[in-house]
Amino acid sequence: MAAYIVRRLLYTIPLILGVALIVWLVFDSGMFGNPAAKMLGKNATKAQLDMLEMNLGLAEPWYVRFGTFLDGIVHLEFGRSRQYKTDVIEMIRRGVGPSLSLTVPSFAIATLIAVSSALFCAAFRGGVVDRTLIVVSVALMSVSSLVYIIFGQYLLGFHGPFPIAGYSYGPKMIAYLALPWMIFIFLTIGPDLRFYRTAILEEIKQDYVRTAKAKGVSSNKVLFVHVLRNAMIPILTRIVVVLPFLFTGSLLLERFFEIPGIGGMTIMGVLTNDMPVIRAMTFIFAVLFIIANLATDILYTVVDPRVRLG
**Rg of the chain, C-alpha, whole Å:** 24
Q: Do 57 and 105 sit in the same domain of this protein? A: no
pLDDT tens track, the chain, 310 positions: 677 778 878 888 899 999 999 988 887 776 666 666 666 666 667 776 667 667 666 667 778 888 888 888 888 888 888 778 889 999 999 999 999 999 999 999 999 999 989 888 888 888 888 889 889 888 888 888 889 899 899 888 888 888 988 898 888 889 999 999 999 999 899 899 999 998 888 888 888 888 888 888 887 788 877 788 888 888 888 888 888 888 776 888 888 899 998 988 888 888 888 888 888 999 998 898 888 888 887 777 776 666 555 5
Q: Do 140 and 182 sit in the same domain of this protein? A: yes
Please give the tally of structural domains in the chain. 2
- Describe the crossing of helices 88-123 and 232-248 by its angle, rounded to 10 degrees: 150
Q: Do 271 and 179 sit in the same domain of this protein? A: yes
**Kindly report the CA angle at 206 between 205 and 209, in degrees rounded to 5?**
95
What would the 3-class secondary structure string for 72-102 be? HHHCCCCCECCCCCCEHHHHHHHHHHHHHHH
**How distant, in Å, are the alpha carbons of 122, 203, 211, 212 from that of 207?**
16, 9, 6, 9
Q: Do 173 and 294 sit in the same domain of this protein? A: yes
| Domain membership of residue 255 as a residue range | 96-303
Q: Do 175 and 232 sit in the same domain of this protein? A: yes
Q: Do 119 and 25 sit in the same domain of this protein? A: no
Residue 159 is assigned to a structural domain of this protein: yes
Q: Do 275 and 163 sit in the same domain of this protein? A: yes
Residue 9 is assigned to a structural domain of this protein: no
154/148 Cα distance (integer angstroms): 10
Q: Which residues of 1-40 are buried (b: 16+ CB within 10 A; e: fewer)?
A: eeeeeeebeeeeeeeeeebbeebbeebbbbeeeebbeebb
Q: How far apart are the first and last CA of the chain?
A: 10
229/162 Cα distance (integer angstroms): 39
The answer to whether residues 247 and 96 touch, using CB atoms and an 8 Å cutoff, is yes
Dihedral sign from CA coordinates of 289, 291, 297, 298: negative
Phi and psi angles of residue 87, each rounded to the nearest 5 degrees, phi first: -60, 135
| Domain containing residue 158: CATH number | 1.10.3720.10
User: Given this model, what pLDDT does residue 101 score?
Assistant: 92
296/279 Cα distance (integer angstroms): 26
Burial class of 262 by CB neighbour count within 10 A (0 to 12, 13 to 18, 19+): buried
Q: Do 123 and 228 sit in the same domain of this protein? A: yes
Tell me if residue 277 falls in helix, strand or coil: helix
